[in-house]
Chains A and B, each alone.
Chain A
């Protein structure tokens, strides 16, 4: 049944995401785009962009989008419940039993290792998404602008999202798109 499949797939994504919404991108690429074919890379980026400028957790926003696309409003709710389910479970266990979990040296070392892996996975995801997201010079300018401004000045992503949506419309109207 499709709802059960949605729940399971997103629970898998939830359990394999270490370190915040952006670390979810490589996992979503694999689970949702390549294995289930529920969305394309382009759609994933569209959802991610919208999720950045709407309130709430980005992972949940993305799950709701994809779930709704596959199985309507119920699907959106089920996918979201799926993506948060492992978190609630794991946190309850850790908060109940291991209150000093984050101070255990082995845990700290394991996560130092995981962070290195997340760097590489994000790099690979960016290389892959880049091809779909940056088809021409106009898009290239936008991507570089957002990248450098956000690395050096760290403003809220909301401004970038609003600016780039407007820029997309203007660049298309001026006929720069596709060149």
Chain B
């Protein structure tokens, strides 16, 4: 039982780390723009595709050392997907700033259709095998079996999260981002170039999403154009769970959702004597979300916005 538990725990952490990385993109964009970026799941999907494209391109050109090829391809997919995010914000969201919050949200929805069908048209709708970046060998950890891939995902994701936290809290650009999330008007009055902060967020968010996509694809060994929809929705749930707009909240929400899902799936059939099966996994995640919001309406780490100080009195 204990090693089973440990194994599930590692699985929960790995999948939770992936949710967390995607949730960061949702939460940062929401922080500066109050926008639910429905296209974000597609950046997650683009990650492994761009990676494969660059990687096979490098191999085709003769290739360097195998690890170096992978590293270059990973960094390139971060940059390329990030730049795509910046371009999309510039052309599809920025012109809509003066028009309330529904218009940009729907524009994001349209962008999601565009990105997904663009990939489907170019590489075909069928799932494609994704080659493992690191060879998957099992490791024995305290009695539970863990694979190197799970371990690698966890380490890489935590490194990215620590890096982001240091960046946002410690650098000048990070201060811009935090200031822009706090108040758009005040920070522009103080000489912060808000548009640059927004562009920066739209670079980092999709980039992290792409990283999560590469991790997810190497975990399951497969990628397909529709993979971003469901995972995107779940990561968004994670962001809300942690309190949208809060960076540590997104990480916490991701891990929490991973744990809820994994342990729900693993133990629900046992606890309910087989009556509630694994097919209710997603119901479970959503039900927990609704419950949390009923008692903490701003999520776990979100700012508690009192009725009087609500930033946006007009909801939509």
B is bound to A = no
